Chains A and B, each alone.
Chain A
Amino acid sequence: MDDDRVFKALADPTRRLLLDRLFERDGRTLTDLEAGTEMTRFGVMKHLRILEEAGLVVTRRSGREKLHFLNPVPIRLIHDRWIDKYTEGPASLLASLKNALEDNE
């Protein structure tokens, strides 16, 4: 919902590693995500909670297990907010060029 949470969540190498691991394979359990990190279960849980609060991770219950899914939409929104401004430029430039050329005909 707000960009600050997304930037804050991304400003940590462990959390980015967790997102990379979910990108490789989605829908993982805490136990699965914990393996391969140097962190305690509690530490990984804490990071996952920050990612979830930022909307970068969405969880679903499946029986007894909680599965974690990567939600890249907030990063896309930041991209669109900044990059969209640039794509407007060339588009309007080409439109003016077309108008100028057609006027000369």
Chain B
Amino acid sequence: MITTTDQIYQVFIKSSPEKIWQAITTPDFTARYFHGARIEVSPERYVSHGPDGATWGDGPVLEYDPPRRLVHQWRSLYDADMAKEQPSRVTWEIEPQEGGYCKLTLTHDQLDSAPKTAASVSGPGWMFVLSGLKTLVETGTPLTGTSLPAAAAS
């Protein structure tokens, strides 16, 4: 069921579904665009660690269909207040397009009981991650921008 608290982001990336999948699920890649987080994804679990080793996220993987679709639970363990909120859900969909492009759609939903998380990830939060992911996959180098999570949230 689609609700108005859902957040949907879309970006076109000139790369293959396999490379994009790898960038989403491999810690050496995520560390270069996801606020420095090392994210490990198995068919069972989605675990994220900050650069200092702190646990930023840990939850079950709900759907694992490489290289097309990944659905996992989201908990904002990097913030004490947000960590108390109910878990939400993140869906990554990779759809090949013409001209060597893929459409990557990220849906963050089930946010009704997690208003602080919803506000934190909305707009600049996910935008920064997706823009960085696109740049990394297309050019092989990360964005140099200074948009850290703290700056994006203020």
The interface of chain A, by Cβ under 8 A from chain B, is: 1, 25-28, 55, 58, 60-62, 67, 69, 71-74, 76-77, 80, 83-84, 87-88, 91
Contact = CB atoms under 8 A, between A and B. Distances in A.
Given A27-B2, A27-B3, A77-B134, A83 B145 contact: yes
6 contacts: A28-B4, A69-B8, A73-B10, A77-B131, A77-B134, A91-B144
Interface string B12-36: 1000000000000000000000000
Interface in B129-143: 130-131, 134-135, 143
B4 A80 contact: no
Given A28-B4, A80-B143, 13 more contacts: A1-B12, A26-B7, A27-B2, A58-B9, A58-B105, A60-B2, A69-B6, A71-B10, A73-B131, A76-B124, A76-B130, A77-B131, A87-B145
Could you tell me the dominant secondary structure of chain A's interface residues? mixed
B83 interface: no
Contacts of B12: 1, 55
A27 B3 CA distance: 7
B4 A73 contact: no
Contacts of A73: 9-11, 127, 130-131
Nearest to A75: B127
B4 A76 contact: no
A29 to B, nearest CB: 10
A78 to B, nearest CB: 10
Contacts of A25: 4
A84 B2 contact: no
Interface string B70-98: 00000000000000000000000000010
A84 B6 contact: no
B77 to A, nearest CB: 25
Which of B1, B3, B127 has the most chain A CB atoms closer than 10 A to its own CB?
A: B127
